Amino acid sequence: MRLLKRNLLVTFRLFVMCLCGCLIVVLFLTLFPLVEVNTCHRIGSGGAVNSLSNVIASPVLNEKDHFLCLIIPFRDRFEELNEFVPMISEFLNKKSIAHAIFVVNQIDTLRFNRASLINVGFIKSEKVLHDLGSRNCDYVALHDVDLMPLNTELSYAYPEKGPFHVAAPGLHPKYDYHEFLGGILLITREHFNLANGLSNRYWGWGLEDDEFHRRLLDSQLKILRPVNITTGKESTFKHFHSARARKRDMSICYNQQEVTRKRDRDTGMNTVSYKMGRTFQNCIDNVAYTLLNIELLCDHSKTPWCNCKDAPKVEMKRNLPRDEDVIVPIIKRKRKTVK
C-alpha cells in the first residue's frame, strides 16, 4: 500500500514537472516567436478561416497538389511590390495554383546581387514554411517584382519535364535573344538543387541569368518555353520599370568583366555567404507574403566588384576572345531601317 502511494506520488511529481516544462516552452515561444506573425485575416472559401492562409498567400490544401514558392529578389521596390503581390496572387488563384510568396530583401550596402538572393530565398523558404507548419513547396518561380503576366494562357504549372521559362524571348517586352533566361523561370526544387543554384559572383546588373542558363544545360536539363502564345512582346507581360527612376547598375570595376564573362564552376547555393536579418509575415491587400531581410557577405579578395565605390575606372573591353566557357550572349543589333 505504502509502495503504491509512493509510486503515485512520484508519477504525480513527474507529471507536474512535465506540465511546468511545457508551460515554460509555450511561454518562451509566445514571447520570442520563431517568425514575426502579423496575420492577413483571409476568409477561406465557404466562409471557413484557414489559419495558414493568414501567413501563406494560397496554402496547399490537397496533399497530392503541387505547391509553388515565388522567390522575388528585392531591394527598394516597395511601389512595384504593392502592385505585384495582389496581382500575381489573383492570377495564380484563377489557375488554382497553391502558392507562397517570398520577398528576399538585400539590406547590406553592397551592389545588388539577384542570384545570391535567389539562392538564399530557395534555402530559407523551406525553413519558414516548416516553422509555419506547412509542407514545403515542390517548385519555385524565380520572379522579377516588376514583371506581371497578362496573358492568362501562360502556364505556371509544375515544370516536370525541365525548367520552364515563362518570360521567353519573343514574349518579354524588353529582352529578345535566344539564350535569355531572366524575368520569370519555373523550376522544380530537385532541378534547382541539381544545378547548385546560381553563381554568387554577379554583383550589379546582368549576366547571372546567362550563367544560370549554361549551368542548367550542363546539368543535362532541357529548358522549355510557352507555346501558342499569340500576344507577342507588347501584351504578354506588363514590365513596370522606368529606366530613369530605377537605374540599372551597369558599372564594371576591377577584374569583373574577365571573371563574370565565364562559366562559374565553383560557387552556388552551397557557398552563398549571408547573415539573416529579421523575417516578417506581411500582407498587401490581404495577400500574405514573407519578407526575408538578408545581409549578403562579400569576399573582397575574390569578387572585389561587389563594391565599385572608389574603384579605379575600368573600360568595358570589346572583342575579347571567346571559348566554350564564355557565357556572354551574342546579341545581334537590329539595324535601323532608314525610311
Which residues make up the interface to ligand UDP (CB under 6 A)?
Answer: 72-77, 112, 114, 144-146, 182, 241, 248
Indicate which of ligand UDP, Mn ion, none lies near residue 145 (CB less than 5 to 8 Å, by partner kind): ligand UDP
- If the CB atoms of residues 77 and 213 are measured against ligand UDP, the closer one turns out to be 77
290 forms beta bridges with 102, 281
Q: Name the residue number minimizing CB distance to Mn ion.
A: 241
Minimum CB distance to Mn ion, residue 176 (Å): 15
The Cα–Cα gap between 215 and 151 comes to: 29
The Cα–Cα gap between 64 and 67 comes to: 9
- If the CB atoms of residues 76 and 218 are measured against ligand UDP, the closer one turns out to be 76
**The C-alpha cell of 287 is what?**
495577400
Amino acid at 32: F
Q: Going residue by residue from 146 to 165, which x/- string records binding to Mn ion, judged by CB under 5 A?
A: x-------------------
Q: How far is CA 128 from CA 56, 131, 146, 219, 232, in A?
A: 10, 5, 24, 28, 37
- If the CB atoms of residues 163 and 182 are measured against ligand UDP, the closer one turns out to be 182
Exactly one of 241, 251, 297, 328 binds Mn ion (CB under 5 A); that residue is 241
Minimum CB distance to ligand UDP, residue 73 (Å): 5
Minimum CB distance to ligand UDP, residue 29 (Å): 33
Q: Do residues 217 and 137 lie in contact, with contact meaning Cβ atoms separated by under 8 Å?
A: no
Minimum CB distance to Mn ion, residue 169 (Å): 15
Q: Distance between alpha carbon 131 and the CA centroid of its chain, in Å?
A: 18
Indicate which of ligand UDP, Mn ion, none lies near residue 114 (CB less than 5 to 8 Å, by partner kind): ligand UDP
Residues 6+ apart with CB under 8 A from 118: 71, 73, 104, 142, 197, 198
* Cβ atoms < 10 Å from Cβ of 331: 12
Indicate which of ligand UDP, Mn ion, none lies near residue 76 (CB less than 5 to 8 Å, by partner kind): ligand UDP
Alpha helices in the chain (DSSP H): 2-31, 78-94, 114-132, 189-194, 208-218, 232-235, 256-260
Minimum CB distance to ligand UDP, residue 63 (Å): 32
Tell me: does residue 174 bind Mn ion (CB under 5 A).
no
- If the CB atoms of residues 246 and 317 are measured against ligand UDP, the closer one turns out to be 246
- If the CB atoms of residues 132 and 292 are measured against ligand UDP, the closer one turns out to be 292
Indicate which of Mn ion, ligand UDP, none lies near residue 213 (CB less than 5 to 8 Å, by partner kind): none
Q: Name the residue number minimizing CB distance to ligand UDP.
A: 144
Minimum CB distance to Mn ion, residue 164 (Å): 20
Q: Do residues 98 and 58 lie in contact, with contact meaning Cβ atoms separated by under 8 Å?
A: yes
DSSP string, 221-270: PPPB---S--SHHHHSEEE---TTTS-------TTHHHHHTB--SS-SGG
- If the CB atoms of residues 80 and 264 are measured against Mn ion, the closer one turns out to be 80
Contact positions with Mn ion (CB under 5 A) in 90-149 = 146
DSSP string, 141-186: EEE-TTEEE--TT---S--TTS-EESS-TTTSSS---TT---SEEE
- If the CB atoms of residues 76 and 285 are measured against ligand UDP, the closer one turns out to be 76
The footprint of Mn ion (CB under 5 A) covers: 146, 241
